[in-house]
Structure 1
Amino acid sequence: MIKNKVAFLMALIGVFGVSLKAQEKVLTKEDAIALALENNYGINVAKNQVEVAGNNKGIMNSGYLPTLTGSAGASYSRDDSVIEFPGQFNEDGTPREDVELDKAEAQSYSSALTASYTLFDGLGRFYNYKRLKEQYQLSELQARETIENTIVQLFSVYYEIARLTENENVLRKTLDISRDRYTRSEYSFEYGQSTKLDILNAQVDITNDSINVLNARQQLANTKRDLNVLLSQDLNMLYTVDTLVTFIPKIKLEEFVGQAKLNNVSLLQTERNLAINSYDIKVQKSGYLPTIGLSGSYGWNLNQSAQSAFFPGTNTDNTSFDLGASLSWNLFDGGGTNVRVKNAKIAYENQELLKKQIELEVDRDIQNAMAIYENKLVIYTIQEQNVVTNQNNFERSKEQFQLGRITSIEFRQAQINLLNAQTNKNLAKYEAKLAELQLLQLTGQLLNVEL
């Protein structure tokens, strides 16, 4: 019975593992970034917003081009009328006859082209045009921030998959050791060198290790679906990830930190907002100055009037060409312009204060991120050495167990210690890499280095 249960667990885990890996391909870091940039919904929305800002900053939205309006019209009328002359007589004394007008038609046609151009508007459109260009640059920075946040989120999931992959491998090796121990316990029991209790203990450990492997695989599959959501692809897409991690030299990171104020996306956005607010002030001040405009029109009219009782029908063909200039100056608008200028200046002052606050926060975040990164690297180094120590301890315990000098419980403890050391090392490695990515994001270099 025991043999059948153990064989069943081995077969179940083996088949499950093969079915998971049969169709998997390697998803490299570069491929993941490319898929995210192409497919991620948040990034595509940000790209569209940049395109809208690009349209807004174009000459077609600047107010510098003239307007041209065309118009045309036509009308038609037909009258049937009878004109009576009561009490009127002809020269011979007979009553004057009625005049009947049948199908008296009148037609009118017109067309015109009207052009207008604002020659001077107090420099309002000039500064608004510059403001729109700054708005476009701000939208590019906002899109960059969206991309950076998505890349960090992407790699937090990507490296979690890598960690779970390595943990699964460790757990499978642990299960293999437990299987080997179970087989040895059976042989020892048959030759009278151990008790039934050793076999039962080995079976319990196989059961626990098997469950750990199954849970690790399930968690791995769930995390892969999380990554598929970020990549906007089929949720059941199968793949493996690259578990190789390299760290940027410290001297390079220190150089990035020194240039952070020039590259941090939050600081760059505050500068663009300051520029936008400065142009807002100038746009509002344009209300103090006059507006000069030019206009011109060309028109054509054709009127065909119907005949009347006293006059014959006429045709009138007319063309016209007009030019004009206008000047308007709002000498006093109830103080509205003055209020708008004051409010724009206050908004600029608020933006300056916000910039100082963000500069302080970014400096704090960078220092914290650097300290966290260095601490994570030290922990990773310690965990690497801990794995070596526990590996040596396990090998020594294995030898002692095979010689019968230690119990199965002591051997199992050495096995668990090695397992914990290996999984802790995996966790420390990827936590250190994620800390590095967060530091790169704060220094504005996340998109400029090879990850």
Structure 2
Amino acid sequence: MNKFYYLLALLFIPIGTAVSQNILTAQEAVSLAMQNNFDVLLTKNDLAVAKENLTYGNAGLLPSLTANFSQSNSNQNSKQTQVSGEVRELDNAKNNSMNYGVSLGWTIFDGFGMFARYDKLNELKARGEIELQSVIISTVGDVLNMYYTIVLEENLLNTIDSSIMISTDRLKTAENRFQIGKASKLEVLNVQVNLNSDESLRLKKIETIRNLKTELNRLMARDLNNDFQVEEQFHFNENLKMDDLLIQASSQNLELQLIKLDKRIAELELKDVKSRRLPIVRLNSGYNFSSSESSLGFVSQSSARGLTYGVTASFNIFDGFNQRRIERIAKIGVEKAGIQIERSKALVDASIVKAYQSYMTNISLAKLEDKNERIAKQNLGITLDKYKIGTISAVEFRDAQENYVNAMSRLKEANYLAKLSEIGLKELVGNLDL
């Protein structure tokens, strides 16, 4: 019996910890993903572009200043007939002209469209920030799901390893019983088949864990062959309340926030479109220098410099009803965004309700499987006593062993599903912590 309890204790001791490897915590996995994940980095670049676009000049609020320079030269055979009838001719007559200066243009009024455009650029920056948060939340969720899947599979591997130890001990017992004539060769062969079956499961489980680690390395954007150990245990929060989650989601759910911003952007687009009904007033100014030379003509050389200034105004009187069409389309965009907000809110609420029901079910299953595991453990102890004294067969002992291993596996899987349900709920709310 002492040996039996030693074997049972092995079920709670991770076999893999004997290997000298660095333990990667869930927090470290998330931190690495935040630094290296390609989706996060790409979204950060998109946000940087949105920030660069948020300028007064891009919205049309600032003047434009342009420097100009031009020079032209010609060499022609010229012939001129004057009003008096006099004819003037010159071969290879040279004509040169040069102009340079600066010009200033500033739209001082465009129906307040420039202010609407600036506000729109600001909202686009805010949208980029929320998109980054959304990608971060999604990435954190993927990393945690993958991480805890590896924890589960490692625990199941430990369970298989411990089952192999029990099967190995059973094989020795069966061989001893066969040697003294208390068991048949068939019993020994059956136990050997059971042990081989456990070994086969172990190989498949190791392959699964390696593939999962490769996927987690991909999410963290590091060497795919980088091996590591994960934490042995994890805990889930049993105190989440559906009413609190629904209230938080109404203000924190990132999808809802994005759609609300889209509605605001659509309203600013409508405001910009309506501004085109009003006149556009633009100030113009400049300082220019010009000079010209002519070998043939009334003026052989001239130059001028000075300041120019003025104002231009334009007003759209009729454009084939295009202005009215564009305004109607913009209004439809605002109405559509409002409908999308209501639809998304209903979808988010429904998703939270369904996810919460799964969360509560998984917590109940975890508690139930905990009781089943304790019963299966007690049953295995009684069965071992009977097997030692020969009152039950190896097949019956194998059934008790499998029942206990399966109960352990179901308990670990129930805890895992409860943890995933917690992560999914927090991801829906938009507030996923570790």
Q: TM-score, normalised by structure 1?
A: 0.85
For residues 414 and 146 of structure 1, what CA distance do their matches in structure 2 show?
Answer: 47
CA shift for structure 1 position 273: 1.3
Q: Answer whether contact 2:366 2:411 (CA < 8 A) is retained.
A: yes
CA shift for structure 1 position 407: 1.0
Matched, 1:344 2:330: yes
Deviates more, 1:322-331 or 1:190-199: 190-199
Name which of 61, 66, 70 aligns with 1:69: 66
The CA RMSD measured in Å over matched residues stands at: 2.5
State the partner residue of 1:415. 401
State the partner residue of 2:388. 402
Which string of whole-angstrom CA distances, capped at 9 and with x for unpartnered residues, describes residues 228-264 of structure 1?
A: 2222222111011123222235157753433221111
For residues 353 and 232 of structure 2, what CA distance do their matches in structure 1 show?
Answer: 28
SS of 1:247 mapped into structure 2? coil
State the partner residue of 1:436. 422
Matched, 1:383 2:380: no
Deviates more, 1:70-79 or 1:428-437: 70-79
CA spacing shift, 1:99–1:429, aligned 2, 3 Å: closer
For residues 148 and 81 of structure 1, what CA distance do their matches in structure 2 show?
Answer: 78
CA shift for structure 1 position 126: 0.8
Which string of whole-angstrom CA distances, capped at 9 and with x for unpartnered residues, describes residues 19-58 of structure 1?
A: x985642111111111211222222222222222222222
CA shift for structure 1 position 110: 2.1
State the partner residue of 1:55. 52
CA shift for structure 1 position 269: 1.5
CA shift for structure 1 position 193: 3.0
Name which of 229, 236, 248 aligns with 1:240: 229
Matched, 1:178 2:167: yes
CA shift for structure 1 position 417: 0.4
For residues 205 and 82 of structure 1, what CA distance do their matches in structure 2 show?
Answer: 115
Name which of 177, 195, 204 aligns with 2:184: 195
Question: Percent identical across equivalent pairs?
Answer: 28
Which string of whole-angstrom CA distances, capped at 9 and with x for unpartnered residues, describes residues 324-343 of structure 1?
A: 11111112222221221122
Deviates more, 1:281-290 or 1:182-191: 182-191
CA spacing shift, 1:58–1:398, aligned 2, 3 Å: farther
Deviates more, 1:216-225 or 1:252-261: 252-261
Amino acid at match of 1:193: K
Name which of 37, 40, 43 aligns with 2:37: 40
CA spacing shift, 1:100–1:215, aligned 2, 3 Å: closer
CA shift for structure 1 position 182: 1.2
CA spacing shift, 1:222–1:100, aligned 2, 3 Å: closer
Matched, 1:425 2:422: no
Superposition pairs for residues 160-171 of structure 1, below 5 Å?
A: 160-171=149-160
CA shift for structure 1 position 78: 4.8
CA shift for structure 1 position 81: 8.9
For residues 156 and 415 of structure 1, what CA distance do their matches in structure 2 show?
Answer: 30
CA shift for structure 1 position 171: 0.1
Deviates more, 1:30-39 or 1:159-168: 30-39
Superposition pairs for residues 41-440 of structure 1, below 5 Å?
A: 41-78=38-75, 106-250=95-239, 255-306=244-295, 308=296, 314-440=300-426
Q: Answer whether contact 1:68 1:115 (CA < 8 A) is retained.
A: yes
CA shift for structure 1 position 100: 8.2
CA shift for structure 1 position 183: 1.5
Amino acid at match of 2:55: G
Deviates more, 1:21-30 or 1:35-44: 21-30
Amino acid at match of 2:253: N
SS of 1:250 mapped into structure 2? coil
Amino acid at match of 1:128: R
For residues 69 and 119 of structure 1, what CA distance do their matches in structure 2 show?
Answer: 17
Q: Give the structure with higher Rg (CA).
A: 1
Q: TM-score, normalised by structure 2?
A: 0.88
